[in-house]
Amino acid sequence: MSAILRKPSIAVATWAILVLGLFAWRGDLSLGDPDAQESRTTAKEGDGPVVVRRTEVPELPRSKRTGLVYDSMGFLLVGADVVPTNGIAEKTGADGSFSLNLLKFQTSDVLVRAEGRRSMWVRTSAISPDPLVVRLIPIAPWDVAPEMPEPAPKLRGEGIVRGLDGRPLANAFVNVLGTDCWGRTGETGRVELPLPSPQVTFVLHQHGRVGQVGGVAALSQPFVSPRTHGVVLLPDLMAELGGSIRGIVCNDHGVPVAGLPVEVRGPGGNRRVQTGAGGVFVLGGLMPADYEVEPFAFRGAVAKAISVRVDRAVVACDLHLHAVKEVGLRIVDESGALAVGAWVACSLHGLRRGVDQAGADGVVNLPISFASEFEIRMGDNFASCEIKHYDAKADPATLVIAQP
């Protein structure tokens, strides 16, 4: 003891060791998270096991989908808003194109809008063999804003697609009939796709290849899902021989038009394909049936739909666009008085092409052809007017209306 007193440093070191040991025993010197330390202490005192919960939300797989926005006369729209409900809004570029990152196995609703055009909701998916093309018609003052669609159920199907030989079919597309919701088979023939409703019908599509020029196709029986959310098992889809439509799109001067969407309507739904070099388009994997083929308008030139029957591997269908010029059209009532302020909407081949209001001279300027149809509304209350006579040979052409 006397030796320790003669060396006070030993006494200090001894006390320091005792104090540090006491703090370490109490846990005051732990280098871990204090909250975690407290939770471990609580766990020791409790009766149940320690449960560690994951707080971050897993990122769902997405896939890029590109598209184009046109007006009804075939001009690409720049600066149009493309707003998905489950992604980031985009604007179309100088070439009318946009790109979205959509959830890979879920239905996506997209609002497309542009100044002077009627907004449109599009229900689509991240996977599709067809180009995503939106066509906005001119807006009229009596149009109502489109309602946002009811949310699609978080429901998807999984199944196997088999080829003509009964073996799993790779790189084939399956569509929910009447929608733009698609899935694609992998090497094992397995397909996964979103189901926008519990009751659906499926369409199989695969382009032609060597030995199968027309590709393969199939239409399933109606399927009713046993649940409204989650994953459901689909019955096997068996391929059958299909046919194809091949053609060229040309303008008034016989010049081929490349990069133009062509719509094919039939029992397998509405399909779209773009013309390639030389204005050529080919759409295979079609079931034998009657179809209507119509190209989009192109820079003021339009074409009427052509009916074809797919009954063999390749069916020819050439399409010709015809320029439609904007002309003046005078609106008068039965007494010959100018219908100043009246609104006129013109349609061609079932699609609205222009809207204008008559000025002090009673004239509207619209893209009109001999096959155009008209809708006339009064300028104050938008009441509909009956068309009594259309004189296309007058200068300017004249519409005689009966005021409501």
Q: What is the pLDDT along the chain (404 residues), one digit of tens a residue?
A: 455 445 555 555 565 566 555 555 555 555 445 444 544 444 444 455 555 555 554 567 888 999 999 999 999 999 999 999 988 999 999 999 999 999 988 999 999 999 999 999 999 999 999 999 999 999 999 999 999 999 999 999 999 999 999 999 999 999 999 999 999 999 999 999 999 999 999 999 999 876 678 999 999 999 999 999 999 999 999 999 999 999 999 999 999 999 999 999 999 899 999 999 999 999 999 999 999 999 999 999 999 999 999 999 999 999 999 999 999 999 999 999 999 999 999 999 999 999 999 999 999 999 999 999 999 999 989 999 999 999 988 999 999 999 87
Judged by DSSP in three states, 302 sits in strand
CA distance linking residue 234 with residue 191, whole number of Å: 9
State the pTM of this model: 0.83
Residue 387 · residue 400 · CB < 8 Å: yes
**What's the pLDDT score for residue 5?**
47
- Which residue carries 């339009």 as its tokens? 302
Token pair listed for 394? 């007058």
Sign of CA dihedral 175, 270, 180, 251: positive
- Which residue carries 């040991």 as its tokens? 21
Residue 134 · residue 112 · CB < 8 Å: yes
Buried b (16+ CB within 10 A) or exposed e, 56-94: eeeeeebeebebbbbbbbbebbeebbbbbeebeebebee
- Which residue carries 């998270």 as its tokens? 33
Q: Which element (helix H / strand E) includes 228?
A: none
- Which residue carries 């790189």 as its tokens? 171
CB atoms within 10 A of CB 140: 17
Q: Which element (helix H / strand E) includes 299?
A: none
What are the CA-CA distances from residue 397 to residues 301, 372, 379, 393 (Å)? 21, 13, 20, 6
Q: CB under 8 Å to 52, separation ≥6 — which residues?
A: none
CA distance linking residue 188 with residue 171, whole number of Å: 10
What domains can you pick out in the chain, each with its CATH number?
2-45 (no CATH), 62-136 (2.60.40.1120), 155-241 (2.60.40.2070), 243-323 (2.60.40.1120), 326-402 (2.60.40)
CB atoms within 10 A of CB 306: 16
**For the chain, how long is the longest CA-to-CA vector?**
133
Token pair listed for 193? 């796709």
Q: CB under 8 Å to 181, separation ≥6 — which residues?
A: 107, 123, 124, 125, 175, 193, 194, 195, 196
CA distance linking residue 192 with residue 106, whole number of Å: 10
Candidates 135, 120, 176, 118; CA nearest to 294 is 135
CA distance linking residue 267 with residue 178, whole number of Å: 9
